[in-house]
Amino acid sequence: MAITASTLQRCGNGGAIFYLPNCRTSVYTTTIMSHHIDINNLSEEQLVELNHRIIERLKLVARARSTRQLNNFNVGDRVWFEGHDGEKIKGIVTRLNVRTATIMTASHRWNVNPRFLRKIEDLEAITS
């Protein structure tokens, strides 16, 4: 049975506590923002369905964040990011992909998540 709005019912006094049949307010609930979902009475199938929905939602949120961050950059921007060894790597944005920016350095091409990128002007302001 899939979890749908019709299978969730209100329980408790006020607040947003949701449950499946046989709600007991004394049982453990998982808090999500201001909503409580009682996972103790869910079947394995329902838990798997809930897990898939959570994963899909997290992917959507991550894609939206990445898209917002990519909007801060344009092709041709001079940028820097920190490499695995802590070294500051400088390059130029050559392409904006769906979730990453392609950065060309003197010796390598990198696909970098925009959360790791900083414009060169930011680096110069920090070191000045």
Q: What is the pLDDT of residues 54-104, one digit of tens each?
A: 999 999 998 899 889 999 999 999 999 998 899 999 999 999 998 899 999
Q: What is the pLDDT confidence band of residue 39, given thresholds at 50, 70 and 90?
A: confident
Examine residue 39 and state whether it is found in any structural domain, yes or no: yes
My answer on whether 64 and 112 are in the same domain is: no
Q: Is the separation of the CB atoms in 54 and 46 below 8 Å? A: no
My answer on whether 37 and 15 are in the same domain is: yes
Q: Taking the CA of residue 50 as centre, how many other CA atoms within 13 Å lie in the half-sphere pointing to its CB?
A: 19
Q: How many domains does the chain have?
A: 2
User: 82-86 long-range contacts, Cβ below 8 Å, gap at least 24?
Assistant: 82/116
Identify the residue whose tokens are 């060309």: 104
Host domain of residue 53: 9-70
My answer on whether 46 and 95 are in the same domain is: no
